[in-house]
Structure 1
């Protein structure tokens, strides 16, 4: 079972969270008109096994957005922190 250590609420089951995507991808500027930049941001992803930085939101708890460092090979959680400081 995947458990995430929320900095506000303590350890919780992953069912309380919503996956928000890859936290290492840089979003284009809001007013960027280049469809190719938006296409790559939304659809083009590498998915190698190993350590990933991911956004997760604690939807049934404090509602905070978190950055979770997780190993996709064994689902171990390496670190959890706030998405914004």
Structure 2
């Protein structure tokens, strides 16, 4: 069982959450060309190691948040709001 630390509800089973993908910057729609939009919509790094991700607590507080998760070990750290404001210093092994 993998636990994710929700900033509002505390540690919960991963089945309560919906994965929203990597936290990446959205390009400006007024200035981005087609190649930039293609990269934003379809290409992800999908690398091993630490990555900032977005999650939605669908079975709890129904809030969006971001978390830094190691994709190899599922260890988590740096849980906070999607925009990065007010990041809490949660860390620990969530396996």
TM-score above 0.5: yes
Q: How does 1:42-57 map to 2 (within 5 A)?
A: 42-57=41-56
TM-score, normalised by the number of residues in structure 2: 0.78
Partner of 1:41: 40
- What is the alpha-carbon root mean square deviation over aligned residues? 1.5
CA distance in 2, matches of 1:59, 1:32: 34
Structure 1 length-normalised TM: 0.86
Alignment partners' CA distance in 1, 2:30 and 2:64: 23
User: Cα–Cα, structure 1 residues 30 and 6, in superposed 2: closer, same or farther, change >3 Å?
Assistant: same
Q: Runs of 5+ in structure 2 lacking a partner?
A: 86-95
Instruction: Classify the secondary structure of the residue corresponding to 1:61.
Output: coil
Deviations 1:51-72 (A, max 9, x none): 0100001111111111111001
Matched, 1:19 2:19: yes
Structure 1 spans left out of the alignment, 5+ residues: none
Deviations 1:31-76 (A, max 9, x none): 4563222110011121221001000011111111111110011111
